[in-house]
Structure 1
């Protein structure tokens, strides 16, 4: 009986470590990306509509009410900017590229307001300094519709 206890302890330790590892992998996968519930939103329709774009900007800047998808965007935008969209799904990266290219080309004032709110320490801009305007920031090539 005494000789089986160390073996049992090793087996239980192995299973608890592997079980913990599996749980860690599952939890990591669960928080790996931002929610994808609104990934199929027609971002081009929003960007083409001054009214819709203004509503989203007011939401993001805490100047107006938010749609459900606007609330989620506002919740995750600071982290996405800090982490360079590291938790974004591929679709979200394409959407971000489309929006960023559009704001830089047509609405620099909106982009500046977003930077003033979400990049207060200038870290996002510092990461992208030294690039010509539109060079590093223009992710429009990621947009499938162009």
Structure 2
């Protein structure tokens, strides 16, 4: 009997996944599960934070330099961004959201820095602090919550 080359190909036994050794099945399943987890982790958005682009700003310098301080204050109090630096614009844009969400999107530097700035303003520049509070927290809702959170974490 003469067989054509294609008849040998058709007769070759096919290995099914279930024919694999059980340990190989578990390994394959584990590899697929890990690949799926990695894909989900990579596809999930990172926790949304405010930009850390300006986290290297020297807060002590700004607070101790009257000219720099006034520039930021003018920016934060103005209705437009005309007098704002790039980092001042970013700060001004973030303040309302940070207040309403307990600084949930703040980096650690921003959280610590906001406490430092608030303390400095309340103790050393109360008139400027009152102007900022009148604009951003006129009903004292957020500062009350801020003070409670600071006490709880102390």
Q: After the TM superposition, which residues 1-146 of structure 1 pair with which residues of structure 2 at under 5 Å, given as runs?
A: 23=43, 25=44, 27-29=45-47, 31=48, 33-62=49-78, 65-127=83-145, 136=150
Q: How big is the shift at 1:119?
A: 1.4
Higher relative contact order, chain-length normalized (CA < 8 Å, sep 6+): 1
Structure 1, gaps ≥5 residues long: 1-15, 142-146
C-alpha separation between the residues in 2 aligned to 1:82 and 1:111?
Answer: 18
1:22 to 1:120, Cα distance in 2 relative to 1, 3 A: farther
Aligned residues: 117
1:38 to 1:125, Cα distance in 2 relative to 1, 3 A: closer
Structure 2, gaps ≥5 residues long: 1-35
C-alpha separation between the residues in 1 aligned to 2:54 and 2:119?
Answer: 20
Normalising to structure 1: TM-score of the pair? 0.66
The ranges of structure 1 where at least 4 consecutive aligned residues each deviate by more than 6 angstroms after the TM superposition are 18-21
1:62 to 1:127, Cα distance in 2 relative to 1, 3 A: same
Larger Rg: 2
